[in-house]
Amino acid sequence: MTDSASYFASSYAEARTRFRDAAQNAGAVPESVTHPLQGPEGEALATDVVWIGPRDAERVLLTISATHGIEGYCGSGVQSGSLEAGRYRDLPPGLAVMMIHAINPHGFAWSRRVTEDNVDLNRNFADFDAPLPENPGYTDLHEVICPPSWDQETIESTVADLLGYAETHSMAALQQAVSGGQYIYADGLFYGGRGPTWSHVTLDGLLRRHCGAARKIAVIDYHTGLGPFGYGERICPAPNGSPERARATEWFKDITSLDDGSSSSAPLVGTNDRGIHRALAHAEVTQIALEYGTQPLLDVINSLRGDNWLHVHGDPASPAARPIKSEIRRCFYPGTPDWCRSVWDRAVETENLALGALAES
Ligand SMILES: [Zn+2]
């Protein structure tokens, strides 16, 4: 039997080739939406899409990888592994699987969580015609979070400042301030943008083009970086008390919420479920993020701060980039065989719950 750890790639280019080859071997024709920019090695960037099952299926399982760029190693490994293992070979009648591979290919290839314009794609679905959400905690901390230098002394003093904020307010308040999302500092962390990014527009177009016949859609959006090492938390972005939240609990059993403190994530604004619901307004959508833990929260935040410094003040092509890139990778894709196997097992279990629920619905 194949070791599931072998499904996971070690570069964006490898992940892309692997996904496309696996799709073709499964008899599917991958569709590509080419990104206008290139990767660090000059490699082409694209979002690739595969549809398995009848085109007019009314029930669809949609999986998404790399909403947060570098987190794509996780979801891509699950997507390619599922194709290689023939997991969708005997889908029940009327059911299809749509796989969106690397919705943020630029972040994936450049080992970044953000898009090419420093936007957090999962904060980019705010209503840009209305006043944008405010995050006064971030405003207070921006200069501490994103200092102009990134040497040991600066790291230690700013971490002390951040921990001081947590001591005064709470660790949850610090996490909320840093990661909840902000729309003011375009060179800052967890920036939601001023309009739809390429990945946002691409996701919207793909869903409208492919899912017109779908009536019931389960969405699993693969993420990493929060929670215990290797554990997959099923986070439902729908508000507590909503029909979707109730359905997610029925389908996926152990669900956490963004709005009641049960999740390892802070409450967020401008998340992609808003755009997914808008594009699929004709259908019943049941969405979760499957969020896998990697390293302690402070390490994860610091890895993003270092990467932000590198791209704002430093040179990603310089030797200074190496330790920063290896740290962000450790924090979003540990890639050890035990971590990969644990990702795979939980993904299979979660996708099977979705497929079973769709088949019965
Ligand atoms: Zn994520």
The predicted structure's pLDDT at residue 133: 95
Ligand 1 centroid to Cα of residue 152, in Å, is: 27
Do residues 66 and 117 lie in contact, with contact meaning Cβ atoms separated by under 8 Å? no
The predicted structure's pLDDT at residue 145: 98
pTM of the complete model = 0.98
The predicted structure's pLDDT at residue 259: 85
**Sheet strands side by side (includes 284-293):** 31-38, 44-52, 95-101, 59-64, 216-229, 284-293, 232-236, 256-257
Ligand 1 centroid to Cα of residue 54, in Å, is: 30
Ligand 1 centroid to Cα of residue 42, in Å, is: 25
Ligand 1 centroid to Cα of residue 68, in Å, is: 5
Ligand 1 centroid to Cα of residue 97, in Å, is: 22
The predicted structure's pLDDT at residue 261: 85
Ligand 1 centroid to Cα of residue 93, in Å, is: 33
Q: Spell out which residues have Cβ within 5 A of ligand 1, the ion.
A: 68, 71, 223
Ligand 1 centroid to Cα of residue 303, in Å, is: 14
**What CA–CA distances, in Å, run from 264 to 146, 154, 172, 268?**
23, 28, 9, 12
Specify the residue for token string 């090695």.
Answer: 41
Ligand 1 centroid to Cα of residue 13, in Å, is: 20
Burial of 323 (0-12, 13-18, 19+ CB in 10 A): exposed
How far apart (Å, rounded) are the C-alpha atoms in residues 176 and 198? 26
The predicted structure's pLDDT at residue 260: 85
The predicted structure's pLDDT at residue 174: 96
The SS3 assignment for 64 reads strand
**What CA–CA distances, in Å, run from 319 to 113, 292, 313?**
20, 30, 14
Instruction: Return the structure tokens found at 73.
Output: 């190693």
CA-based end-to-end distance of the chain: 33
The predicted structure's pLDDT at residue 114: 98
Question: What is the set of domains in the chain, with CATH numbers?
Answer: 4-129+193-299+332-360 (3.40.630.10), 136-189+307-326 (no CATH)
Sequential pLDDT tens for the chain (361 residues): 899 999 999 999 999 999 999 999 999 999 999 999 999 999 999 999 999 999 999 999 999 999 999 999 999 999 999 999 999 999 999 999 999 999 999 999 999 999 999 999 999 999 999 999 999 999 999 999 999 999 999 999 999 999 999 999 999 999 999 999 999 999 999 999 999 999 999 999 999 999 999 999 999 999 999 999 999 999 999 999 999 999 999 999 999 998 888 999 988 999 999 999 999 999 999 999 999 999 999 999 999 999 999 999 999 999 999 999 999 999 999 999 999 999 999 999 999 999 999 999 8
How far apart (Å, rounded) are the C-alpha atoms in residues 1 and 16? 24
Ligand 1 centroid to Cα of residue 1, in Å, is: 31
- Partners of 59 in the β-ladder: 95, 216
How far apart (Å, rounded) are the C-alpha atoms in residues 310 and 14? 25
